[in-house]
């Protein structure tokens, strides 16, 4: 389903996170919060009425937040003792919890695929690149293991954010309500029970901001690499099913990586707005709270979209070891210059080795001849110049990385 | 009308800017761009078909942008020679141009109201406050004139952004198209003609980002002041019709100022994302372009919402000169300590005057007695301590500020 | 000590965090990293030479990072097998670790002071304010307990960030180095041992970004409240020793709160840049890595400055219960309208109660008479209108909040 | 000269902008402002004393801004009637004006170099790339002309920012000062005269923020392209003198492009903080003003560094037309598939042409054979498949772009 307003958000439109964050889902969460409050107040009949009251509801605005008009549409007695913020904060935590479940599943699946890729390509040599230039050989397995490591980090950070219910009444003192009611409410709505009402202690929002920005950044690293490796001139990987072009029939674009990259570019600024809203004056700030709602939803969508695309991207990724080997040869041995220098240094000392190699490197680059040829006089064997035989500890590092398990998130920690 | 997805955006939902930026408006702009291209290519029949083709269109996504699926729904021959980006960039400029018209009108109206307020209260004394403390007297007229000055700045910056059509074909060379066609296309679609295709020269987007963030910041200053002056303890202004509260029947919240403040908090980060997308590699970047669409729409909405609320806020603002006078007396004359010191310095020198005054100020603050009483021995007349008689050049500054006219924006500069 | 370049950074200049992050401290950390590498390679003599080599060093730049020229000044054999990024990343983790120790100490001290304030003022009534308006009564104890809760959150988030050494050689494969050496290096330098080289897996940087932005935001909430409560018209708290003014001898500005607020405004954007650098292409990105160094240092400074000022601010805070009581009376009882309505509702029903109260509230506000007087006919006793008798569960919430201990951070977790 | 604190800022350390923004330069600007005020007050002797007073000054902090302690060190009578903000805002405008002069010169030189490159390579064919894939041919001349166009845009935006002096006294009313004095002060200090004191009307700061972020973004586009084109596999351009590597003797890194890219990544967030500070409450905000100083200086440095590096980068850029031609052939003709399709469409219609070409493209890509071979049966001549013969209107667009002159900035507009 493509929810409304997704026309300019191809990174998330049509994903499950889209549906979980669209207005109807927010409205349902608002009603879920109101109904849970009624249940916590031992009014099951009222709770039922609230649930059904939502059917004909149309979002409206007055008073500056979406709860005030909603309350007008609820049966009498609903919302008793609560304030708008109690209901909206709780509803947004529900929306976050439901969207998080989707994101975590996509991250787990992505980690699984990356584990298989890392295992399969544990020893597949490819050029390591630094500052756009071939540096030393690495392996695709190590790259995939690194990606997986970031995905596990994202999974952990997102899974461990505490998403509490909010109940504090008009000024956070619970006024006509009570601490036990606050705890019952949390239980009924299926969220963590807060120690204190957090209407102006915005830890949950800030933690979500950080975790979601992290998630987009982690997947953004994968996308950044795929975009480089997919370049026409590089060709070491390709997306399983590239995107078409309206003007160029032959093109097969790395569309998923592009969309993930777009998510990674948008997320940090939205997180910044949310961190900025922590400095919330009084018992309800005039602006800082209101500035949270859209950036939070946008972040959930971006992380949700990025995770869904990452799952597909890694699932369908075509890896081309032959092309990697071709590229390894592009510099005629310069990519293992470091090893050549180390070998030389044993016989002629570090300083002389460095000088000799720098000259030969320049010569080789200028005349586009292999380094080995430019250094013929040095008397080193061909193995020293073989770019596929210098993996360092890549294989061992892959093994270390894969020893780290995906932490299972017990269902009890993740509310509905 | 409240468009979809406005539930969490009370700052703009239901405003004219909402309607002008929602998915249906974007879709219409996409079709307007396609039809203008057909007209520029001398195919009026095709242009007509395109316009009517839109009726049954549902937004869809494939290939990573909203144009690719759209093209599939257009009559044959449409979109000829153009690339997705030509159509989407042009459509977003149309959306921006249409929303800008609304924002400029609201800014102009706001400036008009502020002019009247500044004139009316040219000499209405009130406390000037720095770092939250009473500093020296100022006038409400000067405050309103300053607000107007910022609104005029915003109006100018937004009105002078050039919004060009985009046509460059697949790689920005115009390929099978031509420079004259590019110019005809711009004319047909009602936007400025570009010197160069700007598919990766994102000046229009960056300029819009800056102007829209400026607009939100300028209105944010007004909101920040209104929020301080509305505080229960200050009470010098009030919104005409404050917002209600779901829990507190007596409250009359400065809701419009709150929503404008929320806009001002969100806009800078979105502008940052857009400035960041200027560094767009190649002839179409993989991510930087895609990262522009949602932040640009969000910025248009925030500026549109803030401008609409600012018009209402200033239009209905209640100013309370009596309360201002009361507050001027709160510090018992300390608010004119600067003048008292200057007066003293004439007779006993600057250094001695400062010392005497510092001691008296501390004494007055400690014992909550008027400064005049604490300085009785200094023999200064009562006029020196009168907080309403120390406006500085406030009146003259108001006159200077009001001499600056609102620059009329000729219709020809603003496309449909 | 005020380090160079602190002229425009009064929020942190002259604090311990300033010294811990200034160029000399970074240079020392670079040399510490180089020396630790030599020790890990079983070359203690070389390590000693490196340490003394730093004496005459002047920072220089070539090659785009500060390590390349540094290596030229080191004794031969130093830096063997490592790459610039290994040394710089490790050095920045050392700088972060050393600055973190300072910040955590200030946060712990602040939490202690706030605990005492919360205990002392557990039942001190004050106005609760929402959207700038008096809403319902709260207590200063609950406010202080909330502040402390945020400070504990900040302490936990910052203390639990893992700060690992980095060693990966030119492309992250360890090349001529080894996994055991990587672990020895971490031990020698006093940082956590990484599972994988993290040259392009920027989890530590992103985690620091989030934790430091959180820290500034948490302290920013305290500052925001202090700024409101210090207002001339509010006067419920004052900084122990306010800042002077060059023009106004009587002023006592809330300078520390102002500087903390300035930190909270700057931190989120810097964190955004760091989250953005996670999307780092290749084995070393061309720009994303280089974009981390200054924002990371700036964030450390802001958090360090904010924490130092928060410690002083809370340590010297003057709390004025009498002024709080005065302010509670400002609305003539409207601040407990919620309770009045609840009381009324028992006898005449919720709907009628709300209507009656809304009318009386408007009447009271209009004629500036106490609510009790405007509702004389309703026959409610005076206790119902007493603003000091409606604390809700504030006291109980304070107790809950204070039950949460500051988590002691074992020294072993925090490297030198 | 490398000023203090530049160790982590290789993008700007050691440039002229570094010296123009370092603490000694700020201190000099502060004294320049104080001296100009004395001159405006017809006290030339005092002005002379102020200038010499600076010699022994050490920056210090108290009262939350750098002016308060400075005033204590000035001769008596200095600073008369002014407030700290008058002096600091004016000083920062001076620093901005002086740094702007440097940046504009570097931008003008860069534009000149790019003009020559565009002229020289007006018809040098190279692959146009979209979403990382070869799309259609373009020319290096068009790329260089586009870069120049952005540089001219940056030059215009930065040159047209109005940098006014600030004088308003304690609360912006000019109090004991006067409007004529404000104008004399502006003249004396060499900055624009403001209509109103702008202590809380932050248009100059916001305008600078936008222009500097634009500048970094514009140069960031050049850097992004250079980084792609420098890739080992692409090799179409190279920096004149690449950066070395501490581990890899053969590497020649695109260091300048890397540093410019790092600037472009940091600038937007800093600009966001400055736009955020527009919402400044009262006559001097508690935090928003203080949050401007460091981001503004950082932005000036980043733009200054990026402009200096861009001048060098473009001045020394090696362009490799032969490599461009080689790369044009990489796809075996697919890069001109668009033209092939257009040619085919003339005879067999658009739909059939598209189908035929899509099949042939897939076939050619799969078997790595030239498109021409895969389409042998279609009977098209070899010229249709020639990638160097499909420049579109590139040449004409270059000419149009070069017709646009660099706007000379009259010296009078740019204060010392």
- Give the residue with greater pLDDT, B361 vs B234: B234
Which of D166, D290, D306 to mutate: most C Cβ within 10 Å? D290
Q: How far is D92 from chain C (nearest CA, A)?
A: 10
Q: Which residue of A has its CA nearest to B14?
A: A61
The pTM of the full predicted model, rounded to 2 decimals, is: 0.97
List all chains that touch chain A, counting a touch as 3 or more CB pairs closer than 8 Å: B, C, D
Give the up-direction half-sphere exposure of residue B340: CA atoms within 13 A in the CB hemisphere: 33
Q: Are D309 and D259 in contact (CB under 8 A)?
A: yes
3-state SS class at D243 = strand
CB contact under 8 A, C261 and D286: yes
Q: Is A405 exposed, middle or buried (0-12, 13-18, 19+ CB in 10 A)?
A: exposed
CATH T-level fold of D16-325:
Fumarase C; Chain A, domain 2 (1.20.200)
Question: Which stretch of B389-393, C62-66, D2-6, D390-394 has the lowest confidence by average pLDDT?
Answer: D2-6
Whether residue D261 and residue C298 make contact (CB cut-off 8 A), yes or no, is no
- Please tell me the distance from the alpha carbon of residue B152 to that of residue D50, in angstroms, as a whole number: 38
Q: Which of D27, D260, D291 sits opposite C265 (nearest CB)?
A: D291
Contact C247, D169 (CB under 8 A): yes
pLDDT, chain A, mean = 92
- Poorest-pLDDT segment among A39-43, A299-303, B4-8, D190-194: B4-8
User: Can you tell me the distance from the alpha carbon of B39 to that of B53, in angstroms, rounded to the nearest whole number?
Assistant: 15
Q: Any idea which of A64-73, A181-190, C232-241 has the lowest mean pLDDT?
A: A64-73
The C-alpha atoms of residue A269 and residue D273 are separated, in whole angstroms, by 11
Residues from chain C that touch D4, judged by Cβ atoms under 8 A, are 3-5, 22-23
Q: Give the pLDDT of residue C410.
A: 59
Chain B: list its partners (3+ Cβ pairs within 8 Å).
A, C, D
Share of chain A above pLDDT 70, in %: 92
* Distances, alpha carbon D297 to alpha carbons C124, D23, D26, D256, D293, in Å: 45, 10, 10, 21, 6
Which residues of A fall within a CB distance of 8 Å from D344? none
Contact B407, B156 (CB under 8 A): yes
Using the predicted structure, report yes or no on whether residue B238 has a pLDDT greater than 70.
yes
A372-409 pLDDT, tens digit per residue, is 988 888 889 899 999 999 999 999 999 999 999 998 77
Question: Which of D126, D129, D132, D342 has the highest number of chain A CBs within 10 A, making it the mutation to test binding with A?
Answer: D132
Q: In the predicted model, is pLDDT for residue A244 greater than 90?
A: no
Q: Which of C13, C170, C246 sits opposite D79 (nearest CB)?
A: C246
Q: Would the pLDDT of D355 be above 90?
A: no
Instruction: Identify from C5, C8, C261, C271 which residue to disrupt to test chain D contact, counting D C-beta atoms within 10 A and taking the largest count.
Output: C8
- In this prediction, residues A92-99 reach a mean pLDDT of 98
* Confidence class for position D155, pLDDT limits 50, 70, 90: very high
Of B200, A64, A392, C244, nearest in space to D131 by CA = B200
8 Å CB contact of D339 and B176: yes
Query: Which residue is catalytic, options A52, A178, A245, A367?
Result: A245
**Distance in Å, alpha carbon of A171 to nearest chain C alpha carbon:** 6
Q: What is the pLDDT of residue D113?
A: 98
**Strand extents, DSSP E, B227-295:** 237-238
Contacts of D130 in chain A (CB under 8 A): 245, 248, 251, 253
Residue C110: burial class (beta carbons within 10 Å; 0-12, 13-18, 19+): buried
Q: Taking CB atoms and an 8 Å cutoff, what residues of chain B touch A243?
A: 62-64, 68
Give the tokens for residue D30: 């502060």
- Cβ–Cβ of D248/A338 closer than 8 Å? yes
Mean per-residue pLDDT of chain C:
92
Q: Which of A148, A202, A284, A311 is catalytic?
A: A284
What average pLDDT score do residues D223-250 get?
82
Taking residues B312-334, what's their average pLDDT?
96
Average pLDDT over residues B195-204: 98
Average pLDDT of the segment spanning A77-98 = 95
Selected for mutation to probe chain C from A71, A139, A278, A354 (highest C CB count within 10 Å) is A278
DSSP string, D217-240: HHHHHHHHHHHHHHSTTT-SEE-S
Q: Do B287 and A261 make contact, defined as CB atoms within 8 angstroms? A: yes
The whole-number average pLDDT for the span C6-35 is 94
Candidates B134, B227, B338; nearest CB to C232 = B134
**How much is the pLDDT for C61?**
57
Class of domain B331-394 (CATH, top level)? mainly alpha
Which structure tokens are listed for B117? 């307020």
pLDDT at site A358: 85
Nearest CA in chain D to A329: D233
Which residues sit opposite D139 in a β-bridge?
Answer: D125
Q: State the average pLDDT for chain D.
A: 92
To which residue do tokens 């770019």 refer?
Answer: A387
Would the CB atoms of D173 and B350 count as touching at under 8 Å?
no
Chains touching C, CB cut-off 8 Å, 3+ pairs: A, B, D
pLDDT in tens, D12-35: 999 999 999 999 999 999 999 999
Per-residue pLDDT reduced to its tens digit, D99-118 = 999 999 999 999 999 999 99
In this structure, the dihedral spanned by the alpha carbons of residues B301, B306, B308 and B310, taken in order and rounded to 10 degrees, is -170
Q: Are strands C133-139 and C237-238 parallel, antiparallel or unpaired?
A: unpaired
Cβ neighbours, 10 Å, residue D407: 12
B410 burial level (CB within 10 Å; 0-12, 13-18, 19+): exposed
Q: Residue B410: pLDDT band by 50, 70, 90 thresholds?
A: low
Mean pLDDT value across residues A309-327: 97
Residue A5 has pLDDT above 50, yes or no: yes
DSSP string, D46-61: HHHHHHHHGGG-----
- Segment A57-85 shows an average pLDDT of 80
CB C96 within 8 A of CB D8: no
- Give me the percent of chain D exceeding a pLDDT of 90: 75
Domains of chain D by residue range: 16-325, 331-394
Interface contact C350-A77, CB threshold 8 A: yes
Cβ-Cβ contacts under 8 Å for D197 (sequence gap 6 or more): B397, D86, D166, D167, D168, D169, D172, D174, D182
Asked whether the beta carbons of D60 and D69 are under 8 A apart, the reply is: yes
Partner-chain contact C275 A261, CB within 8 Å: no
Contact at 8 Å (CB) between A318 and A235? no
Residue in D with minimal Cα distance to A341: D249
Q: Taking CA atoms, what residue in D is nearest to B403?
A: D195
User: Residue written as tokens 């030239």?
Assistant: D370
Angular region, B5: left φ>0, alpha ψ -120 to 50, beta rest:
left
**Which of B284, B297, B320, B339 is flagged as catalytic?**
B284
Beta bridge partners of A384: none
Contact yes or no for A252 and D133 at CB 8 A: yes
The string of pLDDT tens digits covering residues B361-398 is 888 877 878 999 888 888 898 999 999 999 999 999 99
Is D95 in contact with D297 (CB distance < 8 Å)? Answer: yes
- Exposure letters C59-87 (e unless 16+ CB within 10 A, then b): bbbebbbbbbbbbeebbeebbbbbbbbbb
Residue D160: partners with Cβ closer than 8 Å, 6 or more residues away: none
Q: Do D358 and A250 touch (CB under 8 A)?
A: yes
């Amino acid at each position: 389903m493509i929810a409304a307003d997704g026309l300019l958000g191809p990174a998330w439109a049509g994903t499950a996170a889209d549906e979980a964050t669209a207005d109807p889902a927010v409205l349902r969460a608002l009603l879920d919060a109101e109904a849970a409050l009624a249940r916590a107040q031992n009014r099951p009949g009222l709770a039922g009425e609230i649930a059904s009251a939502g059917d004909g509801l149309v979002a409206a605005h007055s008073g500056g937040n979406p709860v005030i008009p909603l309350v007008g549409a609820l049966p009498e007695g609903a919302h008793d003792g609560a304030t708008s913020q109690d209901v909206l904060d709780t509803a947004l935590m529900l929306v976050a919890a439901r969207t998080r479940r989707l994101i975590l599943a996509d991250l787990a699946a992505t980690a699984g695929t990356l584990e298989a890729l890392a295992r399969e390509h544990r020893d597949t040599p490819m050029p390591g690149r630094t500052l756009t230039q071939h540096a030393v050989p690495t392996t695709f397995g190590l790259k995939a293991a690194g990606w997986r490591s970031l995905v596990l980090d994202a999974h952990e950070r997102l899974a461990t954010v505490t998403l509490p219910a909010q109940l504090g009444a008009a000024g956070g003192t619970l006024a006509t309500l009570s601490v036990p009611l606050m705890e019952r409410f949390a239980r009924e709505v299926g969220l963590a029970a807060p120690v204190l009402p957090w209407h102006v202690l915005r830890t949950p929002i800030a933690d979500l901001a950080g975790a979601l920005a992290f998630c987009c950044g982690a997947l953004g690293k994968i996308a950044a690499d795929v975009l480089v490796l997919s370049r026409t001139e590089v060709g070491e990987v390709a997306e399983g099913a590239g995107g078409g072009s309206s003007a160029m029939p032959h093109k097969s674009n790395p569309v998923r990586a592009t969309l993930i990259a777009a998510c990674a570019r948008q997320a940090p600024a939205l997180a910044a707005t949310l961190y900025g809203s922590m400095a919330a004056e009084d018992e309800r700030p005039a602006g800082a709270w209101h500035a949270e709602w859209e950036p939070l939803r946008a972040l959930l969508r971006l992380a949700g979209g990025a995770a869904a695309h990452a799952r597909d991207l890694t699932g369908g990724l075509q890896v081309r070891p032959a092309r990697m080997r071709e590229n390894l040869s592009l510099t005629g041995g310069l990519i293992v210059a470091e090893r050549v220098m180390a070998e030389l240094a044993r016989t002629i000392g570090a300083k002389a080795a460095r000088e000799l190699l720098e000259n030969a490197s320049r010569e080789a680059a200028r005349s586009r001849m292999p380094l080995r040829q430019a250094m013929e006089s040095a008397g080193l064997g061909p193995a020293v110049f073989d770019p596929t035989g210098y993996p360092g500890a890549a294989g061992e590092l892959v093994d270390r990385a894969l020893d780290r398990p995906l932490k299972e998130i017990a269902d009890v920690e993740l509310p509905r």
